[in-house]
Amino acid sequence: MSDLHYRNVMDVEQILNYPSENESLMQSPTHEEIIQGVMDVLADDEQDPDDSRVLPHVSPKEAFLAMDTLKNYL
């Protein structure tokens, strides 16, 4: 590498084993933490109001007329 006259030569070992990556691997959550995280998400879902709406009934004739109107604008 020095023959190529690079200014910032980095060791291959340092590239492959980057220190901050190893630190994040050492801090993996325990089984209890994972389970608690899932339970918290499920509890939040139960507390949220139901955002689903019942769609109004559309007759086949109304659907066809709406489709025909859209065709005019496309």
pLDDT tens-place string over residues 41-64: 777 666 656 666 788 899 999 999
Query: Cα–Cα–Cα angle for 54, 58, 63, nearest 5°?
Result: 135
pLDDT band (50, 70, 90) for residue 74: confident
pTM over 0.75: no
- The C-alpha atoms of residue 35 and residue 40 are separated, in whole angstroms, by 9
**HEC sequence for 11-46:** CHHHHHCCHHHHHHHHCCCCHHHHHHHHHHHHHHHH
